[in-house]
Structure 1
Amino acid sequence: MKIAVLGGGNGSYAAAADFVEAGHEVRWWRRRSADFQGVRDNDGIDLIDHAGTRTVPVTTTDDLALALDGAQLIVAPTPAFAQEDLARRLAPLVADGQVIYLPPGTFGSWMMMKIMRDAGCSADVSVAETGTLPWLCRKQGDAAVRITTRASSLPTGVMPARNTAHAIALISEAFPAEIGALDDALSGALMNAGPIIHPPLILMNAGPIEHFDRWDIHNEGTQPAIRAVHAALDGERMAIREALGYAGPHFPLDDHYNTSNWMYGNLAHDKLVGSGDWHEKLNLHDHRYMSEDVGLGLAFLVSVGEWAGVPCPVAAGLLAIASAASGTDFRAGPRTMAALGLAEVPVAELQAQLRDGIA
C-alpha cells in the first residue's frame, strides 16, 4: 500500500520505519528538507526495538503534493496543535478515497474536516482518530528511533462515519494492531489517553520536575495517590462516553497498569519504565504534556462534559491548576467546544454531522 507519513516527531519516525519494514511504499514529508539531513546522512532511520538495531531506508520529501500523490493512507502522528496548519495544507491536495489517520486526534478529525471544507475541498476524504500513539517510542538523535512497544489495539473513529468500513480496512492493512471501529470521530476523541495519563503526572509531580534535572513521571512519579486521581479522571471520561450513548469497551486506564487488555497490551507500563527513555527533562510551560494534553486535550474533555451535562470536577480542577501554574487560561483554548463553534449545537445535530459529513 502507498502511505504518506507527515511530521517529524517521535511517532513519525516510528511510522516511517515500521511501514517501510512491513513492505509498504512510503513517502515521508516534513515542512523543511533540512530537517531530514541526519536521516539522509545515515541512509535511513536506525530502528531500535526488541529485535535489535537496523537501518531502514526511507524516501523523504518536503513536497507535500508529491508525498500525497497516490497515497491511500496519510498518517499524521503530529501534536494536535499542528493539525490546523496541516489541514490548510492538505485541503487543495487530498483526493477521493484517501484516509487521514490522526493517532491520537483530540477531535482533530472534525476540526480538520471543517477547515478543509471551508477551504473549498470537496474530495470524499476521511479523517480518522484513535486513542493513543501506536508506538511507545522516543527519537535517539536525528536519525534513530527506539520503539519500546507497539499498540495491540487501536479503537478508531472515522469522520464521516459513513466511510468507516473503507477507512478501517486501509488502516488495518498498515497496522498489526486490532483496529476496532467506533461509532464516530467523537467516540474516537473520547478514547484519547494523553489527557488522562499526563495531566495528573505532571501537575502532581511539579515539585520534583522543576527541582531535578531529569525526572521519570512514569517510574518515581507514578504513586498510589496519583493513580487514584487517574482513576477518578478516567471515570469522568467514561461517564461522558456513556452519556453520549457510546458503548464499551471504554479502555479504562486501569487496564494499562493492571492487565493486558489496554491499547498497548501486556506489561506496557513495565516496558516503558524499563526503557529509561522517559527519565527526562520536562519544562512545564512548553512540553507537549502541558501544551497538548492539558491545553488541548483536557480542555476539550472538560468542555465536552459541560456540553453533554456530565459533571467532571476532577478534570475541571486539574485544568484550573494547570492554568494557574502556567499562566495560561486553558478554558479559552482553541480545542474547546466553544472554540470549535459547537457549544450550542445539539447532540443529535453534531452526531448527524459526524455520521454524514460536513457540507
Structure 2
Amino acid sequence: MKIAVLGGGNGCYAAVADLAEAGHQVRFWRRNYRDFGPVAERGALILRDSKGEREVRPDRITDDIGEAVDGAALIVAPLPAFAQADLAERLAPHLTDDQVIFLPPGTFGSYAMLAALRAKGCNAAIMIAETGTLPWLARKRDAGTVAITTRASRLPTGVVPARRSEEALKVVAEAFPNAIEPVEDGLSGALMNAGPIIHPPLILMNAGPIEHFDRWDIHNEGTQLSIRRVHGALDGERIAIRERLGYAPPHFPLADHYETSNWMYGHLAHDRLVDSGDWHETLDFESHRYMREDIAMGLALLVSLGEWSGTPCPVAAGLLSIASAVTGEDLRANGRTVETLGLADYSPADLKAMLAEGP
C-alpha cells in the first residue's frame, strides 16, 4: 500500500520504520528537507527494538507534501494536535477522493482537521480516523535513529464521517493488522485519548522535582500512589462523559495500563517504558507537548465536553486551572473546546448526526 507519513517527531519516525519494514511504499515528509539530516544522507533511518538494530529505507524522502500524498491510500500524521491546522492548510490543495488520514492520537482532530480542510476549499471525499494513543512507545535516540520499546496491540479508532467507518478502517487495518478496534465516530475515538489522562497529573503533581532535579522520570519516580489515585478519578470523569454521550464500552480504563494486559499496549507496557530509560527527558512547562497538546488541547476539550454535556468533571477542571496558573494563560478559554470548535450550540444528537455525515 502507498502510505505517506507526515512530520518529524518520535511517532513519525516509528511509523516510517515499521511501515516500510512491513513492505509498504512509504513516503516520508517534513516541512524542511534539512531537518531530515542523516536520514536524507543515508536514504534510511535506523530502527532499534527487541529484535536488534537495522536500517530501514522509505520509498521516498521529501519536503514536497504534494509529492508525499500523491496516490497515497493512507496518510499517517502522528503530529501534535496543535500542528493540525497548519497541516490541513498544507494538505488542502493536494487531497483526492477516498484517501484516509490517520491521526494517532487526534484530540478530536478527525473533526477539527476536516472542518479546516473544508474551510480551505478542499472538497475531496476523504475520511479521517483517530485513535487513543500512538501505535508505538518510541523515542528518537538521535537525528537518524528511533527506538521502539513496544507496539500497541489494541487501537480503538473512530472515523469522521462515521458513515464511512468500515471503508476507512479497512485501509488503516492494512497498515496496523490485528490492532484496530472500531468505535462509533471520531469523538468516541477522541475520548479514548490517553495523553490528557496520563500526563497532566504526572507533570503538575511532579512540578517541583521536574524543575529541581536534572533527571526526573515522571513514569518511574513520579508515578506514586497519590498520583495514581488522581489518574483514577480523572479517568472516571472521561468514562462518565463517554457514557453520558451514549458511547459503548469497552472504555479502555487507564488502570488497565498499569494493572493488566488488556490495555492498548498490552502486557508489561509500563514496566518496559520505565526500563527503557528513554523517558528521562527535559520537560519545559511552557513548550512541552504534555502541556501544549495534552492539557491545552486534550484536557481543555474534556472539561468543555463535561460542561456541555452536563457531566461533572471537577478533577479535570482543577488540573486545567492549575496548568493555566503555571503557564499564565487561560487554557480553558484558549484551548481546543466545544466553543473554539464552533460546536457549543449543537445538541448531543445533532453532533452525532453531523459526525456521521461530516462537516
Q: How does 1:1-359 map to 2 (within 5 A)?
A: 1-58=1-58, 59-358=60-359
1:67-87 C-alpha deviation (Å, 9 max, x unpaired): 111100000000000000101
Q: Is the 8 A contact 1:77 1:133 kept in 2?
A: yes
After TM superposition, the structure 1 stretch with the greater mean CA deviation from structure 2, 104-113 or 176-185, is 176-185
Whole-Å separation in 1 of the counterparts to 2:280 and 2:103: 26
Q: Is the 8 A contact 1:131 1:193 kept in 2?
A: yes
Describe the SS at the equivalent of 1:167. helix
Whole-Å separation in 2 of the counterparts to 1:355 and 1:283: 39
Q: Is the 8 A contact 1:30 1:61 kept in 2?
A: yes
Q: Is the 8 A contact 2:43 2:61 kept in 1?
A: no
Describe the SS at the equivalent of 2:114. helix
Gaps of 5+ in 2: none
Whole-Å separation in 2 of the counterparts to 1:31 and 1:177: 32
Describe the SS at the equivalent of 1:60. strand
Describe the SS at the equivalent of 1:47. strand
Whole-Å separation in 2 of the counterparts to 1:43 and 1:130: 30
Whole-Å separation in 2 of the counterparts to 1:76 and 1:24: 16
Whole-Å separation in 2 of the counterparts to 1:180 and 1:43: 34
Whole-Å separation in 1 of the counterparts to 2:178 and 2:308: 33
- Per-residue deviation at 1:177? 4.4
- Per-residue deviation at 1:357? 1.4
- Per-residue deviation at 1:285? 1.6
Q: Is the 8 A contact 1:42 1:143 kept in 2?
A: no
- One-letter amino acid matched to 1:167: A
- Per-residue deviation at 1:120? 1.6
Q: Is the 8 A contact 1:334 1:340 kept in 2?
A: no
- One-letter amino acid matched to 2:345: E
TM-score, structure 1 normalization: 0.98
CA-atom RMSD, angstroms?
Answer: 0.8
TM-score, structure 2 normalization: 0.98
1:196-227 C-alpha deviation (Å, 9 max, x unpaired): 00000000000100001121000000000000
Whole-Å separation in 2 of the counterparts to 1:214 and 1:150: 26
1:290-324 C-alpha deviation (Å, 9 max, x unpaired): 11101111001000111111000000000001111
1:160-211 C-alpha deviation (Å, 9 max, x unpaired): 0011011110110001342011111000000000000000000000010000
Q: Is the 8 A contact 1:214 1:282 kept in 2?
A: no
Q: Is the 8 A contact 1:152 1:176 kept in 2?
A: no
Whole-Å separation in 1 of the counterparts to 2:293 and 2:306: 18
Whole-Å separation in 1 of the counterparts to 2:68 and 2:282: 34
- One-letter amino acid matched to 1:28: F
1:83-112 C-alpha deviation (Å, 9 max, x unpaired): 001011111211111000000000011011
Structure 1 runs (4+) deviating above 6 angstroms are none
Whole-Å separation in 1 of the counterparts to 2:213 and 2:257: 27
1:222-246 C-alpha deviation (Å, 9 max, x unpaired): 0000000000000000000000000
Across the two proteins, how many residue pairs are aligned to each other? 358
- One-letter amino acid matched to 2:18: D
Gaps of 5+ in 1: none
Q: Is the 8 A contact 2:131 2:155 kept in 1?
A: yes
Whole-Å separation in 1 of the counterparts to 2:178 and 2:12: 17
Describe the SS at the equivalent of 2:263. coil
